[in-house]
Amino acid sequence: MKKYIISVITLFLLPVVHAQNPPDWTQSANRERSYPSSEWYTGFAFDQLKPGANASAALEVLKKNAQNEMAGKIISNVKSTTDMTTHRTVVGGVEEIKKDYQQSLQIATSATTVKTEVKTFHNTTTGELFAFAAVRQADLAAYYRRQINLDLSKAETAVAVSEQLAESGKKMSARRKVEEARKNLVDVYSCADLLAAVSTGRDDSDMQISRAGELMRTVERLLINLERSTFVYMDCRYEKRSAKDDAFSDDPGILCDIIAQMLNENECSLTDSRDEADYILTLITSTTQRSDGKTGINPILSYYANARGNLYNRATQRQVVTFTIFNDADCYEAGRDAQDAATKAFKLPDLKNKVMDKILPVIKN
């Protein structure tokens, strides 16, 4: 009798192993039946948990793999159904079309998070890991339609703002707004490609190709009109101070030439007509003797390069910048004679930068 009781107790102490039944979606036949390819994009991933590995972390990796496989199917479908992309006329030719396609792939990948079903399962008995992702084609199509409308609205707003900025003389800001509109339109074309890939019940009006094309033509026209369209008239002079301080007998034009080059490099055009200018830049230079080369333990002849002036906006008829750089510790040089020292001082990057830091932000605004 004692032996029987011990046997019963031993039976109750043995670990109980429950067999786990994997969910239906882990089987390919069930996935095909519940998520037909005519209505869904799906991705599936499987792995075996390695000894000592963290199950939660492994499932996260597997989940991303399933989502990537799903995105890959969308991308493959885009690639096989977007002949319209290769025939579309886009500024920049083939190179720009290639950029459009890359944009389509990026949008396709990001859009897979829209109403995506993601499931994971860990069979603790066998160590098997499963992950599944699915998105309905109709949900993707609805997302792309909304995105097309949103990007078109953004582009239209940017074009309108650009035209207002150009009218007020802020041409560089206007150009930046037009470029912003153009980026929105590239996104529109990408979404149209994706909509064509995921929806069979669409047409050109659904993808709003005509509206996008008309906007793109407007953007191209504005970009051409605004290219290097900020005109600057430069009024350069040399101001004499005293026989000791004046390194030059007349205007050497050194700083004027340097600033003119910098304006050209920053998408400005110089004009000889005040009436054609958007801005009038007055630049008055002078020199000051810093040391005469005769006194001190190691006598050195050195000169400061000075600059003062203002920037006038003809559209608003206002003086928008004034500046004075006089006997600046960063703007002097030594030389063999007065002209040599002053010439070197006028060519210092610090002097050029101090002037440009004053005027360029206003011109680019």
pLDDT tens-digit series, residues 199-245: 766 666 667 888 998 999 999 888 888 877 789 999 999 999 999 99
Matching CATH topology for 139-226 and 230-364? no
Residue 232's CB: how many other CB atoms inside 10 A?
20
pLDDT at 209: 83
pLDDT at 71: 81
pTM: 0.58
Q: What span, in angstroms and rounded, lies between the C-alpha atoms of 71 and 63?
A: 12
331 phi and psi, to 5 degrees? Answer: -125, 50
Domain edges within the chain? 22-101+112-136, 139-226, 230-364
Residues of the chain with pLDDT under 70: 1-20, 79-114, 200-206
pLDDT at 198: 80
48 phi and psi, to 5 degrees? Answer: -110, 130
Domain 230-364: assigned CATH number: 3.30.160
CATH 1.20.58 fits 139-226, yes or no: yes
Sign of CA dihedral 112, 116, 122, 123: negative
pLDDT tens-digit series, residues 251-268: 999 999 999 999 999 989
Residue 235's CB: how many other CB atoms inside 10 A?
14
pLDDT at 110: 63
Find out whether 357 and 321 touch, Cβ atoms under 8 Å: no
pLDDT at 259: 98
Q: What span, in angstroms and rounded, lies between the C-alpha atoms of 254 and 344?
A: 10
pLDDT at 97: 40
pLDDT tens-digit series, residues 288-314: 999 999 887 778 999 999 999 999 999
